[in-house]
A and B are shown apart, each in its own frame.
Chain A
Amino acid sequence: MEVVASSGRHLFLDAGSGIRTLSEDASGLDRVDVLLTHLHMDHILGLPFFTPLLDPVIDVHIWGPISTTKTLQERLSRYLSPPLFPVRVRDLPSVTFHDVPPGVFEIDSVRVIADLVCHPGPTLGYRLEDSGSSITYLPDHEPALCSNDFPGDPEWTSGHDLAKGADLLIHDSQYTDQEYEQRVGWGHSSYTHLLEFARQTGVKTLSTYHHDPTHTDLILDGTHDWLRERANGLEIIAGKPGVVIEL
């Protein structure tokens, strides 16, 4: 997932396997920022294959959730080191790590709001605001888990403030309602909860994301038809590689 700010700054949201193919977008840049929501393997798997990391001309800034025991660099070093990867963090030419507590920071023209969301282990969601547009990125999120009466009370709904009124919500859409019954507490959303969360927060456009690996394209086509039938005016974008959204 790549966001291009009004200033031209490139921000990459998480570093799954797809980030490798986005590497060429960073060609010619002097800086890129990678915002990690959490350090589960599917969200950092592609990091060592992101070529700007090895380019001494590009300053790479990696942002990720704070920990009480180890810095972000120390935690990522568990992956970016032998035997899992031949290149060590200390050998990367120009990387800066930022441990992010819940709060607000700025990257060039982008105001970034980070907050913890309901998912196993400390997991951030991000809201990016730039020139009147807003994107909320909640790739791994189980909004119904933390509430007795979801979607009843915004005050007690994980992720609500991050998503409220956003132009674009990119949200976890892993399970059918039936699958979710067997996966409560796994940290992902059902389709019904996805729609309810989008309605509760009043977002304008919803992009699905983080599909279950067992869901084929045929299944996902049916999923998006199902969502659109129940969208009630909410624009729904089928999240898939290559989709470009301009705000």
Chain B
Amino acid sequence: MQGGAATLYLPPMQQPLELILLRQLASYLTIPMWMMDDSGDLIFYNEPAEGLLGVQFDDAGPIRAEQLIGMWQVTDLGGEVIPDAEFPVVAALTKQTPMHRALRFQGMDGAWREVEVTAIPIEGQGNRFLGVLATFWEVQG
């Protein structure tokens, strides 16, 4: 190749492939799923999760990490407020370790729900930490 000045590398617009594939999978599953990127921003949740969270993702859009705090009221099964560090998604994000727990939360529709939450860190090829995937199981009855 021959030419003039160097070409600048354009800043990334695109999500990592692993997150692209995960979002595609999540969109097909009936399991409520939620995805955060490596900075803690909420980048996607699927339609089953919309029913739990009480707001459609198209309406809520990607949500910055700092805006997520306090968006949903969350307690343990006894009704006590859970410290942020004990949220499964926070543990997976900050410690990059999986975590599972049962909790109660109030959706944007005002309804309180009891769910089992499993959050796992997403690590891609080359030991790249890419974000967090969380699944929710609503406890019925």
Q: Which of A105-155 contact B (CB under 8 A)?
A: 110-111, 113, 115-118, 122, 128-135, 145-148, 154-155
- CA separation between A133 and B18, bound complex, in Å? 29
Contact indicator B4/A132 (Cβ below 8 Å): yes
Q: Is A21 on the interface with B (CB-CB < 8 A)?
A: no
Residue A222 lies at the interface, judged by CB distance under 8 Å to chain B: no
Residues of A within 8 A of B5 (CB): 131-132
Asked if B20 and A158 make an inter-chain contact with CB atoms under 8 angstroms apart, the answer reads yes
Contact partner, A154, options B14, B23, B27, Cβ 8 Å: B14
Pick the contact of B1 from A4, A115, A118 — CB < 8 Å?
A: A4
B54 interface residue (CB < 8 Å to A): no
Distance, CA A6 to CA B1, complexed state (A): 5
B13 contacts chain A at the CB level, 8 A cutoff: yes
B124 at interface by CB-CB < 8 Å: yes
Per DSSP, chain B at the interface is loop
Q: Which residues of B contact A155 (CB under 8 A)?
A: 13-15
Q: Bound complex: CA of A159 vs CA of B16, how far in Å? A: 9
Least distance between A223 CB and chain B CB atoms (Å) = 27
Within 8 A of B (CB), among A157-183: 157-161, 164-165
Given the known interface contacts A66-B126, A130-B1, A130-B3, the answer about A146 and B10 at a Cβ–Cβ threshold of 8 Å is no
Residues on the A chain within 8 Å of B124, using CB: 102, 116
Given contacts A66-B126, A68-B125, A131-B4, are A157 and B14 in contact (CB under 8 A)? yes
Q: How far is the CA of A152 from the CA of B23 in the complex (A)?
A: 15
Task: Assess whether A102 is in contact with B14, with CB atoms less than 8 Å apart.
Answer: no
Q: Is the CB of B14 within 8 A of A146?
A: no
> Can you list, as one digit per residue, whether each of B1-28 has a CB less than 8 Å from chain A (1) or not (0)?
1111111011011111110110110010
Contact B2 A6 (CB under 8 A): yes
CB distance A5 to B13 under 8 Å? no
A160 x B13 contact (CB < 8 A): yes
Within 8 A of A (CB), among B19-64: 20-21, 23-24, 27
Tell whether A56 is near chain B: CB-to-CB under 8 Å: no
C-alpha gap A102/B128 in the complex (Å): 9
A105-B131 Cα distance, complex, nearest whole Å: 24
**Known contacts A5-B1, A111-B9, A131-B6; is-contact A146 B125 (Cβ 8 Å):** no
Residue in chain B with minimal CB distance to A3: B1
Given known pairs A65-B125, A130-B1, A156-B15, the reply for A147 and B24 (CB within 8 Å) is yes
B19 to chain A, nearest CB (A): 8
Query: Is A118 a contact of B3 with CB atoms below 8 Å?
Result: no
Complex Cα gap A159–B9 (Å): 14
Complex interface bits, A80-124 against B, C-beta within 8 A gives 1, otherwise 0: 000000000000000000000111100000110101111000100
Closest B residue to A99 by CB, please name it: B126
CB of A247 closer than 8 Å to a CB of B: yes
Given the complex of chains A and B, what is the CA–CA distance between A3 and B15 in angstroms?
28
A165: B residues at CB distance < 8 A: 10
Q: How far is the CB of A180 from chain B (nearest CB, A)?
A: 17
Q: B residues bordering A, Cβ < 8 Å?
A: 1-7, 9-10, 12-18, 20-21, 23-24, 27, 124-128
Report A's interface with B, CB cutoff 8 A: 3-6, 65-68, 101-104, 110-111, 113, 115-118, 122, 128-135, 145-148, 154-161, 164-165, 246-247
Given contacts A104-B9, A131-B6, A132-B3, 19 further A-B contacts (CB under 8 A): A6-B1, A67-B125, A101-B126, A101-B127, A101-B128, A102-B128, A116-B16, A116-B124, A122-B125, A129-B6, A131-B2, A132-B6, A146-B20, A147-B24, A148-B24, A154-B13, A155-B14, A156-B15, A158-B14
Ranked nearest first, the 3 interchain pairs of A and B with the lowest CB-CB distance are A101-B126, A132-B3, A116-B17
